Each structure stands twice: as C-alpha cells, then as structure tokens.
Amino acid sequence: MASTPHPSSTTVPANPSAKPPPSPSEPPSRRPQQTVLSRLRILLLRYIFYLARTTDRTLVRLSTLLSNPASTDALLATTSYALSLVHAVLSRLVDRRLASLASTIAEKAEDVLLPVETLVATLPALEQTHILTQLAGATKAISAVIEDYRIFARLWGLVGLYVWARSTYRTPLPTTTDAGTSKNKERLLRTLVWAEIASLVAFQVLENGAYLASKGVLTSKKWTGEEGIRRETLWSMYSCRFWAAYVALELVRLGIERYYRPQGSSTQAPPTEDEKRVMGDGEKEGKLREEEKRRHRKKEDWCWWRDLVSNLGYMPMTLHWSVKEGLLGDWGIGVLGFVAGGALLVDAWEQTA
C-alpha cells in the first residue's frame, strides 16, 4: 500500500489566503496621501475651469459694453471720478504725513533754538511718502486724460441731438380717453423734451468752442491772448450752466412721471379687474401678457430710480463748474461723480447679460 506523504509542516494557518504582515523594513502605504493630492488636484482644475469660464463671460460682456458709445461714456466717467477720489485720498494722506513730520521737527528744535532764531531745513522725502506722491500724480494724470477723451468724443454730439429733435418732431402726441390726464402728461413731457434739446444744443456749442480754443484750433483774434483766455473761460462756464439746466429739467421730468403715475402700478401691485379676468380664464397667452406687463413695470421703475440717482449726483457738479471759484473740492467731485456715473454703469452692465 502506498504511503501518504507527510506535510512539510504540522502548523495549519487560520486563513491560507491571508497575506503576511509587512516586514518592518517596508515603507508604510501612501494611499491616503495620494487620495488627498488627487482631490486637491481636482479642486484646482475645477477652479481654473470656473475662472476661465467666468473670465470669458466677463470679457464678452465688456466687449458688448464698449461697443455702445453711451455705455462706454458711463464706464469712462465712473473710472475718471473714481480716480479723482483716489487722488483726493492720497493727497490728504501725503499732507498729513508731511504735517506730522514738520510738527515732529518743530517740537525737537524748539528746545535748542533761541526765540529770535528760525529753522529752515530741507529733508529728503520718505520712501512711502514719495511713492504716495507719485501715485497721486499718476491717478490725477489718468483722470485728466479720460476727461479730455470724453470731451473730444462729444464734439459731434450735435448730430445725435439733431436726430433726437427730428424724431421728437415726427412723433405725434398719443391720444387718450383718460379724462385728459395722460394727454396733459404727454404735453408737459413734450415741452420738457424740447427744452432739454435746446439746453443741450447750447451746451454742446459752447463746450466745443471752449475745447477747441484750449487745443489751439481756434486762432482768430478773439480766441488768442488774454481776450481769448477770458472768452474760453466764459464759454466753459456757460456750457456748464446749460448742462445744469438740462439736469434740472430731467429732475422735473422725473417728478412729472411720478406724479402722473397710475395708482397701483408698482412692481408688487395687485392685478386689475381686467387682468384678473384674463388670468382667470386659464389661457396661456393671457398669463404671458400679464407677465410681460409686470416686467415692463419693473423696468420702468428701475429706469426711474437710475435717472434720479444719476441726476442728483450731477446737479451739484454742474453748479460747481458753473461758477469761476467753484463750490466743491476733489472729494465732493470724486464721490458725486462716482455715484452719478456708477448708476448709469450698473444699468449698462446689466443690459450686457
């Protein structure tokens, strides 16, 4: 009988398929660390993709904004007045630093100087103060360049005013049966429109003359020498006065529109009886028409507040430039201009979405 071979070991493992424990010389597993790195890599790639997509959308909207002269002017105006505000802040900071330095020197010299002696010293500017002075000058220079370009771009503004007057003349007054209320409103608004056109025409002619004279384009006897400087200053002031008249007329227009606004026409107003009847029919077309009316009311309300904020910001500025001495400082011009231009810029940016 064949004999059964004996096993080489009498010890039977509890789990033959189990792997042996790692030897002390083997390095520990790095799987958890690789998992964390993989997650960080994925998050970084997602952020880069999101940033690229956001940047692409922003650049497309900026291109659309710059393709319109009105929205471009709003962007330039907001940027220019923001730089004027930065210039005012930096200038005040530099003045405070210099005043503090002078006060410190005076306090130290007071103990060693006799009552009849005077200290005159020339000190090199500190590095931080020198940098702030350079930044203040740079912001002022960029703001001046932007303002010069804006005035240059308005040289042919009379063409747009002619088109506006032509369109107003050829548009008849709407007829209504609302007891003459809407008719009175339209007549008042039409009168204001003609007054606004007249004020802007006068403003544009005077501004163009003053600007061209400042650039040496007008070289006749009346525009040279001291007489030319006085005429240029006078034309510039009167152009701002006609601009102030236009802004005042705009505020009157907004008041008329608010006064004649139908009751319950706000964006959250309940629907009228006709609207309820249309909506109650369950017709899809009626519901869409009602939704369109609500969107139109909301847009009108937004435009009204936009024009109000912008004109309230421009009103003190036009009065400031209408007098020779001025009424505001750099702080006031920067803040008011940023608010006035920013209101128009926000609306222009929303329209590019």
pLDDT value of residue 327? 87
Assess contact for 208 and 155: CB atoms under 8 A: yes
| Amino acid occupying residue 189 | L
Question: Bigger pLDDT: 300 or 26?
Answer: 300
Assess contact for 241 and 194: CB atoms under 8 A: no
The Cα–Cα gap between 74 and 153 comes to 13
pLDDT at 195 over 70: yes
Chain-wide mean pLDDT for the chain?
80
How confident is the model over 293-349, as pLDDT tens digits?
778 788 888 889 999 999 999 999 999 999 888 888 888 999 999 999 999 999 999
pLDDT at 103 over 50: yes
Question: Bigger pLDDT: 106 or 192?
Answer: 192
Split at pLDDT 50, 70, 90, the class of 106 is low
Question: Bigger pLDDT: 17 or 234?
Answer: 234
Rg (C-alpha) for the chain, rounded Å, is: 36
Our measurement of the distance from residue 25's CA atom to the centroid of its chain's CA atoms, rounded to an integer in Å, reads 66
Nearby residues of 190 by Cβ (< 8 Å), 6 or more positions away = 168, 173
How confident is the model over 152-167, as pLDDT tens digits?
999 999 999 999 999 9
pLDDT at 148 over 90: yes
pLDDT at 35 over 70: yes
- Residue 261 DSSP code: P
Question: Bigger pLDDT: 87 or 115?
Answer: 87
DSSP string of 160-217? HHHHHHHHHHHSPPPP--STTHHHHHHHHHHHHHHHHHHHHHHHHHHHHHHHHHHTT-
Highest mean pLDDT of the ranges 16-25, 94-103, 219-228, 336-345: 336-345
Split at pLDDT 50, 70, 90, the class of 10 is very low
Question: Bigger pLDDT: 179 or 182?
Answer: 182
pTM (two decimals)? 0.74
Q: Based on the number of CB atoms within 10 Å of its own CB, is 167 exposed (0-12), middle (13-18) or buried (19 or more)?
A: exposed
Contacts for 321-326: CB closer than 8 Å, 24+ residues apart: 321/236, 321/237, 321/240, 321/243, 322/237, 322/240, 322/241, 322/244, 323/237, 324/233, 324/237
Nearby residues of 334 by Cβ (< 8 Å), 6 or more positions away = 81, 82, 84, 85, 86, 87, 88
Share of the chain above pLDDT 90, in %: 36
